């Protein structure tokens, strides 16, 4: 299988749904999109498109606008086709879906799998993007066989890099990658070693996108993340 942007979008929607469920909320998935009418954690959208179809997604967006899931909420336009300005959104950022073929692994990759809540809390602290906010990654995520949190420790034993791997639809999504470039690469290689027969997918922008390309990823297409604020 050669993954395309649809595979990457579906995988990302599955990850968003898992995060949503860990917070005790429900999401729903139809052919054109995944969505949740509940408040989502920061940096997680209430809707992810799964196809380039515009009409059914705009109808779903309009329903969410009326429902007001939270003061600020987002839409991940997986194919960069939605005219969301007219619904009161602005572009938060643009990025590219990426894929890396199976087989690029390094022997003895020094990463560990997170198994405990204390370990997960330490992983999120090292990730750093939720500092001062409620936790994003909760213990129910550790009980899902398709999800793996990996960490790279420095010489003192502190977590210096990490990644989340999410297996679905014949691919493995990699997200929330953090750390210095070399350590990030080791984390990605550790994911590849865990799933040697599956391609890795995700999305990046800016310098992280250039780094991903240097590590064997190629682009699958553009996406846009939109934000609606009061």
Whether residues 75 and 113 share a domain: the answer is no
Percent of the chain clearing pLDDT 90 (strictly above):
87
Whether residues 56 and 77 share a domain: the answer is yes
Of residues 132, 193, 184, the one with CA closest to residue 163: 184
Residue 45 confidence class, pLDDT cut points 50, 70, 90: very high
- Asked if pLDDT for residue 229 goes beyond 80, the answer is yes
Give pTM, 2 decimals: 0.94
Q: How many domains does the chain have?
A: 2
Q: How many CB atoms lie under 10 A from the CB of residue 94?
A: 14
Whether residues 26 and 125 share a domain: the answer is no
- Which residues make Cβ contacts (< 8 Å) with residue 83, sequence separation at least 6? 54, 58
Given phi > 0 = left and psi -120 to 50 = alpha, else beta, which region is 103? Answer: left
Distance separating alpha carbons of residues 51 and 9, to the nearest angstrom: 8
Distance separating alpha carbons of residues 221 and 97, to the nearest angstrom: 6
Of residues 45, 43, 53, the one with CA closest to residue 17: 45
Whether residues 120 and 133 share a domain: the answer is yes
Q: Which residue's structure tokens are 């987002």?
A: 74
Whether residues 105 and 123 share a domain: the answer is yes
Whether residues 13 and 85 share a domain: the answer is yes
Whether residues 76 and 180 share a domain: the answer is no
The model's pLDDT over 50-59, given as tens digits with 9 standing for 90+, comes to: 999 999 999 9
Whether residues 168 and 181 share a domain: the answer is yes
- Asked if pLDDT for residue 105 goes beyond 80, the answer is no
How many residues does this entry show for the chain?
Answer: 230
Whether residues 125 and 210 share a domain: the answer is yes
The model's pLDDT over 159-212, given as tens digits with 9 standing for 90+, comes to: 999 999 999 989 999 999 999 998 899 999 999 999 999 999 999 999 999 999
- Asked if pLDDT for residue 117 goes beyond 80, the answer is yes
Whether residues 93 and 106 share a domain: the answer is no
- Which residues make Cβ contacts (< 8 Å) with residue 42, sequence separation at least 6? 130, 133, 136
Please, which residues bridge with residue 225 across strands?
76, 93
Could you tell me the CATH number of the domain that includes residue 204?
3.40.630.30
- Which residue range is the domain that position 52 belongs to? 5-97+223-228
Whether residues 80 and 47 share a domain: the answer is yes
Joined together, the tokens standing for residue 32 give 């054109």
Whether residues 122 and 48 share a domain: the answer is no
């Amino acid at each position: 299988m050669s993954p395309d942007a649809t595979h990457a979008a579906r995988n990302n929607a599955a990850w968003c749904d898992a995060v949503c469920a860990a917070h005790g909320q429900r999401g729903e998935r139809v052919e054109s999109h995944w969505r949740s009418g509940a408040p989502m954690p920061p940096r997680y959208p209430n809707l992810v498109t799964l196809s380039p179809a515009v009409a059914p997604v705009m109808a779903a967006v309009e329903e969410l606008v009326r429902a007001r899931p939270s003061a600020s909420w987002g839409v991940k336009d997986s194919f960069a086709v939605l005219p969301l300005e007219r619904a009161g959104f602005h572009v938060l950022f643009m990025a590219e879906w990426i894929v890396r073929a199976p087989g690029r692994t390094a022997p003895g990759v020094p990463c560990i799998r997170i198994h405990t809540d204390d370990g997960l809390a330490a992983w999120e602290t090292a990730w750093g993007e939720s500092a001062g906010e409620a936790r994003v990654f909760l213990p129910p995520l550790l009980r899902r066989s398709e999800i793996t949190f990996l960490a790279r420790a420095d010489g003192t034993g502190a977590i210096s890099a990490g990644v989340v791997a999410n297996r679905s639809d014949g691919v493995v999504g990699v997200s929330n990658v953090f750390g210095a470039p070399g350590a990030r690469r080791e984390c990605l290689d550790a994911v590849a070693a865990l799933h040697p027969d599956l391609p890795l997918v995700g999305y990046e922008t800016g310098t992280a996108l250039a780094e991903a390309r240097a590590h064997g990823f190629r682009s699958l297409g553009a996406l846009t993340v939109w934000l609606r604020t009061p």
